[in-house]
Amino acid sequence: MMAIRTCCKSLFEPIDLDSLVTFRVLFGLLMSASMGRFLVKGWVEELYLQPTFFFTYTGFSWVQPWPAWGMYAHVSLLALLALLIAGGWYYRVSTALFCALFTYLELLDQTNYLNHYYLISLISFLMIFCPLHRAFSIDAWRRRTSASPTTPAGILWLLRSQIALVYLFAGLSKLNGDWLWHAQPLNIWLSAHADFPLLGGLFSQVWVHYAMSWASVVFELTIVGFLLWRRTRLLAYVTLVGFHLMTLMLFHIGMFPWIMIVMTTLFFPPDWPRRWWRPRHTMTSSPPVIRTPPRRWQQRVGLTFALLYLTIQCAVPLRSYVVPGHALWTEDGMRFAWRVMLAEKTGHVDFEVREPHSGRAWWVSPNDYLTPRQAKMMATRPDIIQRLAQTIAHDYRQKGLGDVAVHAAAYASLNGRPSQRLIDFEVDLAQTQEKLSGTPWVLPLRESAPVR
């Protein structure tokens, strides 16, 4: 009990704000550049304007895209808000708006889900409550009475914990037969990079596929510990940068490597930017003093919030381990669980609409409803195949055909296995209920070894 009290007390001890301020600036600049990429690469048009149907999340059907001008204004505003976060101008308002508007974008369509987009929403949400604007910001310059060179240590540890959970669950998810015993899907992905400069010849070697599979597991499960240990921190960070830059060059996974490189700077000592930029002889040895220590009730509220948040962040990824079936096949529990780069999955699906009274039947292509990108993403995900089937049934009922049945001829291949039927063709998906998890009408994966 005494140890717990001591630990809790240490969370409210003052620490230097420099590393958190540096993180705020880098995060804001990175997010502004990311939103700029959306505009320059035409992703606003592709993701939000071309589609006529959106796979919204359960309970968020009210989230719909703006008209074309509104979507461009939405993304442009996000880029501006990110710059305001970097500069620390109306920081809390800017961060709250950025979090809300960015999350709004991600709620529009499940086929747009990416782990690092989810991480951005979480980090920006936490930043709303973190006083990262008390130094080196326009807010601190405008309101000098609120400026402070320090912050409670718990702020830093909360952000570190979120980053640690990403690596922990990413590593745990790779403790499976495909990754460890068959080096899949790295075998598929690396073999396709035989022309990679200098290392291309190695990428065609099976032993390299196994070595990289096992090394990535060790890396993700241990990197946080090495970052926390002073003696190994610098080497661990250099290794982390190399790891993420390699994944960026090989797999073209967008901003995720840069996000992790920026976020993991938080594992360095809180005053590392000051030590880096100022000569050692100008450093003061006096301990930092926090301007306004949190009151007792504020400490209790802060601890309760942090414990509740971290409990949820542990529970949500764990759900994939209790849902029946092969998670990579059924997709149950895959989202919001940090199950990163685990599957090479391809598929194809068509729908048969049957009118029970007349016996007539029609084949419907997903391309009648979706963009090519949406159709590709949908074809391997049973829950959104179900969603489209129910939309098709609704459309045919609107045409006066009554309660039609919709069956999915869906086939998929996972990590090099032969293509097999994904969904029971005899099940009328129009009559199935949407659930947060559990898809009993998904056929079990035939556990044959992946083909190399």
Express each pLDDT in 319-329 by its tens digit.
888 888 889 99
pLDDT at 373: 96
User: Which residue type does 349 have?
Assistant: V
351-409 pLDDT, tens digit per residue, is 999 998 888 899 999 999 999 999 999 999 999 999 999 999 999 999 888 889 999 99
Helices then strands, each counted (H, E), the chain: 18, 6
What are the helix (H) ranges across 88-192?
91-107, 115-128, 138-142, 153-173, 177-181, 186-191
Distance set, CA 421 to CA 301, 350, 386, 446 (Å): 51, 12, 15, 10
Question: How large is the average pLDDT for residues 34-50?
Answer: 95
Q: How far is CA 108 from the centre of its chain?
A: 15
What is the three-class DSSP state of 349? strand
- Report how far residue 110's alpha carbon sits from residue 236's, in angstroms, rounded to the nearest whole number: 35
pLDDT at 275: 82
Residue 281 — pLDDT band, cuts 50, 70, 90?
very low
The larger pLDDT score, comparing residue 7 to residue 258, is at 258
- Report how far residue 101's alpha carbon sits from residue 183's, in angstroms, rounded to the nearest whole number: 39
pLDDT at 450: 62
Q: Which helix (H) or strand (E) holds 408?
A: strand 405-414
> Looking at 8-17, 128-137, 227-236, which range is the least confident one?
8-17
The DSSP letter of residue 48 is: I
- Report how far residue 405's alpha carbon sits from residue 238's, in angstroms, rounded to the nearest whole number: 57
Strand partners, 347: 412
pLDDT at 11: 85
- Give the sign of the dihedral formed by CA 298, CA 301, CA 307, CA 310: negative
Greatest CA separation found in the chain?
A: 90
What is the three-class DSSP state of 43? helix
The larger pLDDT score, comparing residue 9 to residue 425, is at 425
CB 209 within 8 A of CB 183: yes
- Give the sign of the dihedral formed by CA 316, CA 170, CA 252, CA 207: negative
Closest CA to 382 of 53, 61, 46, 110: 110
Residue 9 — pLDDT band, cuts 50, 70, 90?
confident
Residue 270 sits at the vertex; the CA angle it makes with 148 and 316, to the nearest 5 degrees, is 105
pLDDT at 85: 98
pLDDT at 437: 61
User: Which residue type does 314 have?
Assistant: C
132-147 pLDDT, tens digit per residue, is 999 999 999 988 777 8
Report the chain's mean pLDDT, rounded to a whole number: 90
- Report how far residue 15's alpha carbon sits from residue 287's, in angstroms, rounded to the nearest whole number: 9
Residue 280 — pLDDT band, cuts 50, 70, 90?
very low
Closest CA to 173 of 339, 8, 49: 339
Name, in order, each residue with C-beta under 8 angstroms of 33's C-beta and a sequence gap of 6 or more.
Answer: none
Q: For tokens 């690396």, name the residue.
A: 190
Q: Work out the burial of residue 355: count CB atoms within 10 Å of its CB; fewer than 13 is exposed, 13-18 middle, 19 or more buried.
A: middle
CB 164 within 8 A of CB 224: yes
CB 120 within 8 A of CB 259: yes
CB 426 within 8 A of CB 407: yes
63-94 pLDDT, tens digit per residue, is 999 999 999 999 999 999 999 999 999 999 99
144-191 pLDDT, tens digit per residue, is 777 888 899 999 999 999 999 999 999 999 999 999 999 999 999 999
CB 175 within 8 A of CB 320: no
pLDDT at 436: 61
Q: Does residue 200 come out as left (phi exceeding 0), alpha (psi in the -120 to 50 range) or beta?
A: alpha
Q: Are strands 405-414 and 420-421 parallel, antiparallel or unpaired?
A: antiparallel
- Report how far residue 53's alpha carbon sits from residue 45's, in angstroms, rounded to the nearest whole number: 14
| pLDDT of 130 above 90 | yes
pLDDT at 132: 95
284-315 pLDDT, tens digit per residue, is 434 444 456 677 777 888 889 999 999 999 99
| pLDDT of 1 above 80 | no
pLDDT at 290: 46
Q: Are strands 361-364 and 405-414 parallel, antiparallel or unpaired?
A: unpaired
CB 182 within 8 A of CB 450: yes
Residue 212 — pLDDT band, cuts 50, 70, 90?
very high
